[in-house]
A = this chain, B = another copy of it.
Amino acid sequence: MRIDNLQYANWSEKIFRQMREGGLDAVHVTIAYHENFRETVLNFERWNRWFEQYPELIMAGYEASDVDKAKETGRTAIFFGFQNPSPIEDDIGLVEIVHRLGARFMQLTYNNQSLLATGCYEAEDTGLTRMGKQVVKEMNRVGLVVDMSHSADRSTIEAADFSERPIAITHANPHAWAPALRNKKDDVIRAVVENGGMMGFSLYPHHLKDKSNCTLEGFCTMIAQTAEKFGAEHLGIGSDLCQDQPDSVVEWMRVGRWTKEIDYGEGSAAAPGFPNMPEWFRDNRDFGNLENGLRNVGFNDDEIAGIMGCNWYRFYQNNFCAASAL
């Protein structure tokens, strides 16, 4: 079983076919960065059209059993997530609405302060807000997973501790390995995994040691070290693959509508666009390389199966349903 727990590609039949070539049984796809509720609904609608157009390649995923169904029918189950809470606006009632529509992960922040918590680029981190606590409780109730990939340290630790259900860092790497602002310090990872949470490793070059030149061995050695510290059962992949996106999209991700000035995020004025992917992970067809890399650094079959998909699958089983169904 193979699951990639974060992608934001410029979707096309080509990419859906590559998901099949790469043996992906499920992919968690981002459908909102700065979109408000109505704009996010338009993104759900776009996916409905793709499900209608490519029924032999992809299907909507709502629960873990949909991964099995996809596997049995040779398709990829698509699960939705938001990298910002903008789709719920200031309305806690929208948490259940977006869950019903298929959202399964929601970041409490995207780099900046949100109504709910503090993002990793803010100077001060004040933790969960009043609304943030209410929304985490509501997300716990309906089965929408708290994702803190772009959040600041204190906010992430508070969310992990306050949440009554496990939370996730869907796409990031350890800060000690690659000191990107977005990568996670050990005490942050520990707070997440000690509460039953998951960490998905990112292949986005800005999160990698030596960026686009990062080696497969270096990446897999980092995973082995993280497994030693925190346990392999809490680890998975969240590739952050942004395949075929024009650079205007990374600008939207960084700037949204919140500033009139340019913000380069993890890039720079000299390199404002999407970075090149490492040559051993160009797109969905290269998940086999990852699996080989994990084997070469000494993981056993069970551990490899877990990291490549079964750990996320188990997490889906426990965290996508209503709390009342547990």
Interface residues of A (CB under 8 A from B): 37-38, 41-42, 44-45, 48-49, 91, 93-94, 96-97, 100-102
Contact = CB atoms under 8 A, between A and B. Distances in A.
A19 B113 CA distance: 46
Contacts of A48: 93, 96-97
Nearest to A51: B96
B101 A45 contact: no
A96 B44 CA distance: 10
Contact of A91 (B45, B101, B102): B45
Contacts of A44: 97
A41 B97 contact: yes
Contact of A93 (B42, B93, B97): B42
Contact of A96 (B45, B94, B97): B45
A48 B95 CA distance: 11
A102 B99 CA distance: 13
A49 B101 CA distance: 17
Contacts of A102: 100
A48 B100 CA distance: 11
A101 B97 contact: yes
Contacts of A97: 41, 44-45, 48, 101
Contacts of A45: 91, 93-94, 96-97
Nearest to A44: B97
A263 to B, nearest CB: 30
The 10 residue pairs across chains A and B that have the minimum distance between CB atoms: A45-B93, A48-B96, A41-B97, A100-B101, A44-B97, A38-B38, A45-B97, A48-B93, A100-B100, A97-B101
A319 B97 CA distance: 23
A100 B96 CA distance: 12
A101 B94 CA distance: 12
20 contacts: A37-B38, A37-B41, A38-B38, A41-B94, A41-B97, A42-B93, A44-B97, A45-B91, A45-B93, A45-B94, A45-B96, A45-B97, A48-B96, A48-B97, A49-B93, A97-B101, A100-B100, A100-B101, A100-B102, A101-B101
A4 to B, nearest CB: 24
A122 to B, nearest CB: 30
Nearest to A102: B100
A69 to B, nearest CB: 14
Given A45-B91, A48-B97, 13 more contacts: A37-B38, A37-B41, A38-B38, A41-B94, A42-B93, A44-B97, A45-B94, A45-B96, A45-B97, A48-B96, A49-B93, A100-B101, A100-B102
A48 B96 CA distance: 8
